Copies of this chain bind each other. A is one copy, B any other.
């Protein structure tokens, strides 16, 4: 009793019943009589029995966990999403495994590995650069895309990126800007493309020029925001306001601009995307588009659980609204 861990057999012996009864007492208490139920629970208490999840999982043909595949675990953007996921998964008795796609050599191979390894009942994939063909595979678990997407037919939970871009442009226009630039995410990234499309569409609505030289390339990182700032500062005919595809880049941009002696928003207005924690404490606090990260995690988990219990590889998609967060990094353009 003290050396080893008690098994269901031990409990059955102590309670004087069969293992079947013990199992039922624990999973469907209603079908056993109150007296035996009490006896079993007593025996459980005495032996300190804890159900062996591995054995249970084997018999029930499941694993009891889902895995979140993010492009880069070190990216803090995901932590709050994971927290949201964790809360609902735990509630459902599921564990949350995490792994990143970009750490090994072949990201696709990594996805394939988790699909076939049978180590999770379902996947939530945050990386839109993977090949959808990898999913063409018999007997794979359900997969839900989150934030990014690789094939619009896959079930997903995303935010309305285009609407976010529109909100940003609308605000800049409202403040009097007509020379508006865009700092993009990595080449081909679906989020950056969607935001750029929203940006372009919004410019058209306001009858503003879309100038190729006012589109700066970035990769979502602060450093790339800094690089964009240098390019911006080197121009003479430059935008008076910039919409950044991520808060990180906005932070890098603002930092670089300020270090060069310019002021935000007096010399240039900046608007970000994401609403990461820190930006409200900056000087000036950053105007941005908020993504409800906790909610994204919660919905993703809920939807995946739905797919798992339905045993279905397909499911609905959901688009979550973004929110405009007015702060102080946007002002009227310099006269």
Contact = CB atoms under 8 A, between A and B. Distances in A.
Contacts of A295: none
A277 interface: yes
Given A86-B100, A98-B86, A74 B294 contact: yes
Given A97-B96, A99-B96, A54 B50 contact: no
A9 to B, nearest CB: 15
A20 interface: no
Contact of A73 (B58, B79, B225, B254): B79
Interface string A57-96: 1100001110100001111101110110011001000011
A152 interface: no
A54 B63 contact: yes
Contact of A119 (B58, B64, B73): B64
A78 B83 CA distance: 12
Query: Can you tell how many copies of this chain the complex includes?
Result: 2
| Most chain B beta-carbon contacts within 10 A, residue among A73, A83, A225, A255 | A73
Nearest to A60: B54
A103 interface: yes
A99 B82 CA distance: 9
A252 interface: yes
A209 interface: no
A96 B95 contact: no
A2 interface: yes
A134 interface: no
A275 to B, nearest CB: 14
Interface of A: 2-5, 48, 50, 52-55, 57-58, 63-65, 67, 72-76, 78-80, 82-83, 86-87, 90, 95-100, 103-104, 116-119, 138-139, 222, 225-226, 251-252, 254-256, 258-259, 277-278, 281-283, 285, 294
Given A254-B283, A255-B285, 6 more contacts: A73-B86, A74-B294, A86-B99, A97-B97, A98-B98, A259-B283
21 contacts: A3-B138, A3-B139, A53-B63, A54-B54, A54-B118, A58-B58, A65-B95, A72-B83, A73-B83, A76-B79, A78-B79, A86-B98, A90-B103, A95-B97, A97-B98, A98-B98, A222-B278, A222-B281, A255-B281, A255-B283, A259-B283
